[in-house]
Amino acid sequence: MEAAVKEEISVEDEAVDKNIFRDCNKIAFYRRQKQWLSKKSTYQALLDSVTTDEDSTRFQIINEASKISFSFWILKK
């Protein structure tokens, strides 16, 4: 029984016309996401406020700049 010959496939970089594709810097959605991710969030979850039961979860998030807290209640459908 002969060993199977492994065929190598090569994709030439020049085979793709790069003029028809936009790079990430030209896509507005990507730029906004990158800008947003580089900022530090002013919101923080209060982990000691998390409570769960069989059909819901409750927790609080605080805006560290304004010191206003928000209560969230997630219900299982």
CA distance 28 to 77: 36
Q: Kindly list the domain boundaries of the chain, sorted by start residue.
A: 15-75
Res 35: pLDDT:
80
Name the token pair of 12. Answer: 């030439």
Name beta bridge partners: 60: 46, 71
pTM surpassing 0.85?
Answer: no
DSSP assignment string, 47-66: EEEEEEETTEEEEEEEETTT
Backbone angles phi, psi at 36, to 5 degrees: -65, -40
Per-residue pLDDT at 1 exceeds 60: no
Res 58: pLDDT:
96
**22-75 pLDDT per residue, tens:** 777 778 888 888 887 777 778 899 999 999 999 999 999 999 889 999 999 999
Q: Which one is predicted more confidently, 14 or 45?
A: 45
